[in-house]
Amino acid sequence: MQTIFITGTDTDAGKTYVAVALLQGLKALGYRTVAQKPVAAGVNGAGFNTDALQLQQHATEQLSYEMVNPYCLTDAVAPHLAAAKARLSIEPAVLTKELQKLQAVDADVALVEGAGGWLLPLDDHSTMADWVAEQQLPVLLVVGMKLGCLNHALLTVREIERSGLKLVGWVANCIDPDMAYQQENINYLQQQLTAPCLGVLPYQSEPQLNTSLASAFIKQLRN
């Protein structure tokens, strides 16, 4: 199984949107998939995180909600703050145990979606990036295309590379339909980032089935 960690340039960059697009495309190409959002903050009326529910719905191998989202925190704030309010602690050892459960499922690809941006705090001393580095997971970066994304993307890539992890590629997710010079910004990132752009997702409410992103993703994993 290939396990990939999906991070974003910021909160609302579209990590789940891209993950769903990948899951849909991979399924259409005949790949078996599992997905996990280890830490999520913010729940619906039933007490579930909607991002995690989407991952659960679109993966080919159906897992329990608890396996998809081990840490489900009520308040839609930074997870370490939500955990503190709930008198919980986010334990890296628990994240590792849950990841191992995910990787034990018979599937071809596992997508593990982060929360917020790359340096998301788990507590006062560690970040999600620290845990990803410990697990040595390859990383896919979602760049939310909006004003300021160049700085966010370059800083995030610098930190990923500083962690010694492989950046398998990045996706330009067009979250702002009115962004000025959008294509010029994408061109700049293509010039500056050594990892390839695996796709450009247009602004739309729901990802449309398109296997090109999944095909580019699989091709890059094989390199």
Output the CA–CA distances (angstroms, integers) from residue 169 to 96, 156, 179, 206, in the order listed.
24, 13, 23, 22
The verdict on whether residue 161 carries a ligand-binding annotation is: no
The Cα–Cα gap between 120 and 99 comes to 18
For residue 11, say whether it is annotated as part of any ligand binding site.
Answer: no
69 is in an annotated binding site: no
Which phi and psi angles does 35 have, rounded to 5°?
A: -145, 150
| 13 among annotated binding-site residues | yes
Contact 218, 29 (CB under 8 A): yes
The answer for residues whose C-beta is within 8 angstroms of residue 53's C-beta and 6 or more apart is 44, 65
> Is 174 annotated for ligand binding?
yes
176 is in an annotated binding site: no
Give Cβ neighbours of residue 50 (< 8 Å, ≥ 6 apart).
42, 44
The answer to whether the annotation marks 106 as part of a ligand binding site is: no
Tell me if 144 is assigned to a ligand binding site. no
DSSP run (H or E) holding 197: strand 197-201
* Separation of alpha carbons 186 and 196, rounded Å: 12
Which residues have a catalytic role annotated?
37
- Say whether 45 counts as a known binding-site residue: no
Q: Is 71 annotated as contributing to ligand binding?
A: no
Known binding residue 116? Answer is: yes
By CB atoms closer than 10 A (0-12, 13-18, 19+), residue 14 is buried
Binding residues for ATP: 12-17, 51, 113-116, 173-174
| Binding-site sequence positions | 12-17, 51, 113-116, 173-174
Binding residues for Mg(2+): 16, 51, 113
